[in-house]
Amino acid sequence: MKRTTMLAVPAALALATAVAVVPGATAGPSAAPEETAHGCAAGHVPGAVQNQSGRALRATRAGDAWIWHNRAGWHLRLRHKGSAKLTFTGTITSNDGKPIAARGYRLEAKHGDTFTVSADKKTVTFLFNNFGGLDGLDLNMHCSASVTFSLSAANAVMNPDRVHLGKARIAAFTSPVTIDRRK
């Protein structure tokens, strides 16, 4: 018992000292209001859409999409076999109005790959001219409770069986795909 007490006191002092020397530290919570100590107050993302394996993106057919979520946020990748041009278009919407921050993934200006975030930051629209490589977006939606991916290939709505979710590459049930956080 003494050993535990002796170790607990120095650990408590070290923690108090570390907190005291952090510039700008406050007594209030440091997370954004929509976040809790264990994640988002809006709930957690369903396990079926969590994570992705780079290997899973190689086995593809014409006009496939992969959607997944990890600690860095949401990810969308689009690809087809061959080197012929296939145009992907779509929108990604934060259904509860949380702002979206977007970054392109392997986009090529010479092919006319573009995306824009709306002025209210609730929608991203994109056009990717794909020649067989991966094109995509990395998105942070700041704990949005619901997100919708509306995807098209060659001016046709993508078939849900060509939209793969998470590491297990589960086929989407519908297109567009709406994913809600669970409480």
Residue type at 157 in one-letter notation = V
User: What integer pLDDT is reported at residue 99 of this predicted model?
Assistant: 96
Mean pLDDT score of the chain: 79
Confidence band, pLDDT 50/70/90 cuts, at residue 42: confident
Question: How large is the average pLDDT for residues 60-77?
Answer: 87
Find all residues with CB under 8 Å of 37, minimum gap 6, and list them.
31
pTM of the model: 0.76
User: What integer pLDDT is reported at residue 124 of this predicted model?
Assistant: 98
**Tens digit of pLDDT for each residue in 143-176?**
899 999 999 999 999 999 999 999 888 889 899 9
Confidence band, pLDDT 50/70/90 cuts, at residue 34: very low
**Tens digit of pLDDT for each residue in 71-113?**
889 999 998 888 889 999 999 999 999 999 999 999 999 999 9
User: What integer pLDDT is reported at residue 158 of this predicted model?
Assistant: 94
Question: How large is the average pLDDT for residues 4-9?
Answer: 38
Q: Which of 182, 164, 145 shows the shortest CA–CA distance to 75?
A: 164
